[in-house]
Homo-oligomer: A and B are copies of this chain.
Amino acid sequence: MTEQWVKPYGDTLGDGRVQLSFTLPVALDETTKEGAKRLAAMMGIDEPALAHAEDMGRGFSFFIVYGLCRHRVDLASLHVVKPEYEVLDKEAINRLIADKLGRRMVVLGACIETDAHTVGIDAIMNMKGYNGHKGLESYHGMRAINLGAQVDSEDLVARAIEEQADVILVSQVVTQKNIHLDNLTRLSDLLEAEGLRDKIILVVGGPRISHELAKELGYDAGFGTKTYAEDVASFVIHEWIKRGAA
């Protein structure tokens, strides 16, 4: 593959210009300013210029730096992990489900553990959908059950057994102190323990979720901001077919 090196661009190809801001937990003086520049230099920023340095009181200082990033990256060399599937429309998805499953697909959705941010999962699951994209409830090929907020992983797994779920969709919005990692690991461990992990398509979504992260956590896919129901539905049916084929 031909290489495709890129660098940040300000006003001339290859200039490497970047903007940076951060706080240092020290009062502002000439040394602190020098320290801020030095940090930028350590990041590989040439000619770091302190655009702004301001004392924030109580031994904190705020900095804005512009400079020239020395690093460049070869886009051609990057292997991006992304779910491989074609986004279909509702009709096509319903048809595929009818063809391949011959029954309605059971999809369970929840915001797990302490997370109560339901707007995201509602956007995917509920009739109304999001930005004019109807949710899974409106897919007649699916039985979409939205359990809502703060669902314990145990309860979710129990319900999955009860409903014979094909798919579990979980949402995680709160990520502070990486709490979502704990929550998500907990759920997949439980499914594993119940011997369900292979039977169920397990998907996670949320504004800070990437497919890469999801894969690392042992999920089948991860979806970030601006996801619509048809994206998930397309992935899910595609994954179902793939598993059948395997």
Contacts and interface: CB of A to CB of B under 8 A. Distances in A.
Interface of A: 4, 6-10, 13, 17-26, 30-35, 38-39, 42-45, 49, 60, 69, 71-73, 75, 78, 80, 82, 208
Contacts of A45: 43
Copies of this chain per assembly: 2
B23 A8 contact: yes
A10 B21 CA distance: 11
A208 B31 contact: no
Contact of A75 (B7, B18, B21, B32): B32
A2 to B, nearest CB: 14
Contacts of A35: 6, 73, 75, 78
Contacts of A19: 20-22
Nearest to A178: B47
A44 B6 CA distance: 18
27 contacts: A6-B25, A9-B22, A9-B24, A9-B60, A13-B25, A17-B23, A18-B20, A18-B21, A18-B22, A19-B20, A19-B22, A20-B20, A22-B69, A30-B80, A30-B82, A31-B75, A31-B80, A32-B75, A33-B80, A34-B80, A35-B73, A35-B75, A39-B71, A42-B44, A43-B43, A43-B44, A43-B71
